[in-house]
Amino acid sequence: MNRRQFIKTTAITGIGMGMNLNKAKLFAGSPNDKISIAMIGLHGRGRALAASAVKQKNIELAYICDVDQRVMEKVIADIEKNHGLNPKPQKDFRKILEDESVDAVFIATPDHWHTPMAIMALQAGKHVYLEKPCSHNPREGELLVTVQKKYKKIIQMGNQQRSAPTSILAVKEINQGVIGRPYFGKAWYSNQRGSIGIGKEVPAPEWLDYELWQGPAPRKKYKDNIIHYNWHWFWNWGTGEILNNGTHEIDVCRWALGVKYPRKVSSSGGRYHFKDDWEFFDTQVTNYEFENNKLITWEGRSCNTHYYHNRGRGVAIHGTKGTVLLDRNAYELYDNDNNLIKKVDEKGLSTTTDILGAGALVDLHIRNFFNAIRYGEKLNSPIDEGHVSVTLCHLGNIAQKAGRTLELNTQNGHIKNDPQAESMWSREYEEDWAPKV
């Protein structure tokens, strides 16, 4: 199938599947019936999601989907060996969306696919577990929220710390005044990523459907240092470290401070550590100034692992009477004399700076997703909340690229009086591939 046929088929399929969607209930079967799911995108994060999803009760893993034939075969072999399951392999996710027996899809593809694929899934009547960031640009996030409201299907964004019992407790106690008036959230992430070098243009390998991998993104020739992970550092497909990892901690800060969109955002940094093809920033400090005298700062160091508070990533929420220190595995409370008043550990540990991000919080987050489908349980990270945090991260990149402080509309996050910066609110798409509501 050539690209134009591919696009035409996608459009026709989307129209056909969209006609009966509003008739669908939250979950058409009994709460005891199996929820049939498909896992799309298997390299790295997708493997962690698959391993967690199959541990849940009354779940049928119907499909495994990836454009890399080798990865798909490996994951199926692992699932069969470790869980006794035999999901169907499928390279083309559209065929999964055509299967009416599939209730929900998990999307762990590269970032440029997140919103377009999620919208197609909603139009096909599927619930969606969508890895962060939920969008490649702010406009996509707005479209995603609109489509979710139209088709009334569930979207849970994969920022799993929203399901952490210790974080839920900490935010509750912050709201109750445990640190007085909270006013400053410090978020950080540090890693020791190596150079990605200078890539060479070579033919795409036979095990990869590079045309389908690119999908909505404007076409670029295949280079040998992009797939599978380094696409994160290219504007055409990725969103940089602030969205790759900063999404988690910026979201926790926003949650704890009870804020939405800031009035100002500024960002400083660059590609300081190596000289290579990496297009984003390995060192970045982004500041968000909110009304009512509240501030969030995110510091990302992709290539230096000097830790704060002995943690590669985390959040400190400062208030008039003390500080709360949070990560995926614990909650610590300090008074203003820096005395440890309270510490609560998670019952199950989670990894923090590897590419899988597996652990107990993934299990809890996915369980919350399934319970929302079955019983109407409140989502811990509904897409309208996830979109706000992701938009803050996008604004950090836009401010960095523009090289100046951005003034924002605090109601919707849009950039004021800066047409050049506002032009980065969306992106260009491959012909006929722009997401449609």
Q: Looking at the structure, do residues 108 and 176 belong to the same domain, yes or no?
A: no
Pairing outcome for strands 155-157 and 127-130: parallel
Number of domains in the chain: 2
Average pLDDT, stretch 267-272?
Answer: 98
> Residue 18: is its pLDDT beyond 50?
no
> What per-residue confidence (pLDDT) applies to 22?
32
Give the percent of the chain with pLDDT over 70: 91
Q: Looking at the structure, do residues 176 and 107 belong to the same domain, yes or no?
A: no
Residue 356 lies in a domain: no
Q: Mapping DSSP to helix (H, G, I), strand (E, B) and coil, where does residue 277 land?
A: coil
Residue 46 lies in a domain: yes
pLDDT tens for each residue of 95-151 = 999 999 999 999 999 999 999 999 999 999 999 999 999 999 999 999 999 999 999
Q: Looking at the structure, do residues 421 and 296 belong to the same domain, yes or no?
A: yes
Residue 435 lies in a domain: no
Residue 358 lies in a domain: no
Q: Looking at the structure, do residues 104 and 173 belong to the same domain, yes or no?
A: no
- Find the farthest-apart pair of alpha carbons in the chain and give their distance in angstroms, rounded: 67
Q: Looking at the structure, do residues 116 and 173 belong to the same domain, yes or no?
A: no
Q: Looking at the structure, do residues 70 and 109 belong to the same domain, yes or no?
A: yes
pLDDT tens for each residue of 24-77 = 346 666 666 899 999 999 988 888 899 999 999 999 999 999 999 999 999 999
Task: Give the separation between CA 128 and CA 149, rounded to whole angstroms.
Answer: 13
Residue 202 lies in a domain: no
> What per-residue confidence (pLDDT) applies to 351?
73
Q: Looking at the structure, do residues 236 and 107 belong to the same domain, yes or no?
A: no
> What per-residue confidence (pLDDT) applies to 148?
97
Q: Looking at the structure, do residues 170 and 147 belong to the same domain, yes or no?
A: no
pLDDT tens for each residue of 151-197 = 999 999 999 999 999 999 999 999 999 999 999 999 999 999 999 99
Q: What's phi and psi for 292, nearest 5 deg?
A: 65, 30
> Residue 4: is its pLDDT beyond 60?
no
Mean pLDDT of the chain: 92
Strand order from edge to edge, sheet including 155-157: 88-90, 59-65, 35-40, 104-107, 127-130, 155-157
> Residue 13: is its pLDDT beyond 70?
no
Say which residue, 25 or 91, is predicted with more confidence.
91
Task: Give the separation between CA 379 and CA 365, rounded to whole angstroms.
Answer: 9
Residue 42 lies in a domain: yes
Q: Looking at the structure, do residues 330 and 407 belong to the same domain, yes or no?
A: yes
> Residue 398: is its pLDDT beyond 80?
yes
> Residue 8: is its pLDDT beyond 60?
no
pLDDT tens for each residue of 423-437 = 999 999 999 888 988
> What per-residue confidence (pLDDT) applies to 45?
84
Kindly report the CATH number assigned to the domain that includes residue 53.
Answer: 3.40.50.720
Range of the domain at 300: 164-197+224-351+383-425
Q: Looking at the structure, do residues 187 and 116 belong to the same domain, yes or no?
A: no
Distant-in-sequence, close-in-space partners of 350: CB < 8 Å, separation ≥ 6: 160, 328, 329, 357, 358, 359, 360, 361, 362
> Residue 379: is its pLDDT beyond 60?
yes
> Residue 235: is its pLDDT beyond 50?
yes
> Residue 399: is its pLDDT beyond 60?
yes
